A = this chain, B = another copy of it.
Amino acid sequence: MNKRHYNSEETRQVIAEKATQLFAQKGFAGTSIADISRESGFSKGHIYYHFENKEKLFVHLSLETMRHWGEKWQAIAGSYNTSVEKLYGMAHFVMNNYKTPLLPVGQELAMNPGTSPDTLQALQGLAVTPMAAYAAIFHEGVARGEFDIDNVEETTLLFGTWMGTLCQFTLTMEGEPLQRLFQQAVTIFVGGIRKR
């Protein structure tokens, strides 16, 4: 079997990528279906062939994007020797796979009355993936005696929000300065939680 008529999956991917980019840049309300249509090169109507509506499109994008993000991180998470190194590696990874900008956009959507309960519930679980990845590093670091943390949950939240906003700079900065910014953030953070 495997009837792969056409290669519609490819166009769906194009729409998804452009939409993700636009949502991250201009927010949920600030991104129109017309924008996505123009940027992806497909008609407005066709977007509704692939996705039920704007809200579901965004939720799908977020979920899929986070799942992919988590898998990609898991693939390289084992290649670090110390927890400190792993934290630097995470910052580098976040910088190069910046999908977290969708999180604040999700918050924006969640704030708006009229957002469907299904969407709200889906949005609720969005931050779980990256937060779990962060928390794992901190727990490991404490167990290894590298970190001195009395509230891991709070520390995770702090690190997560910081990484999240730093991602905004990937839109306006690049190369070495950007990399140094992320590294410096981790250096400061590690300095604040390192055991001594």
Contact = CB atoms under 8 A, between A and B. Distances in A.
A43 interface: no
Interface residues of A, dominant DSSP: helix
B26 A151 contact: no
Contacts of A89: none
A155 B154 CA distance: 22
Q: Quick one: copies of this chain in the complex?
A: 2
For A30, A157, A187, the residue with the greatest tally of chain B CB atoms inside 10 Å of its CB is A30
Contact of A184 (B26, B151, B184): B151
Contacts of A181: 154, 157-158
A79 interface: no
Contacts of A28: 27, 30
A189 to B, nearest CB: 6
A40 to B, nearest CB: 17
A29 interface: yes
A137 to B, nearest CB: 15
Given A27-B29, A30-B111, A155-B184, 11 more contacts: A26-B108, A30-B30, A104-B165, A154-B181, A157-B181, A158-B188, A164-B165, A165-B165, A187-B192, A188-B189, A190-B192
CB-based closest 3 A-B pairs: A188-B192, A191-B192, A29-B30
Interface of A: 25-30, 104, 107-108, 111-112, 151, 154-155, 157-158, 161-162, 164-166, 168, 171, 180-181, 184-185, 187-194
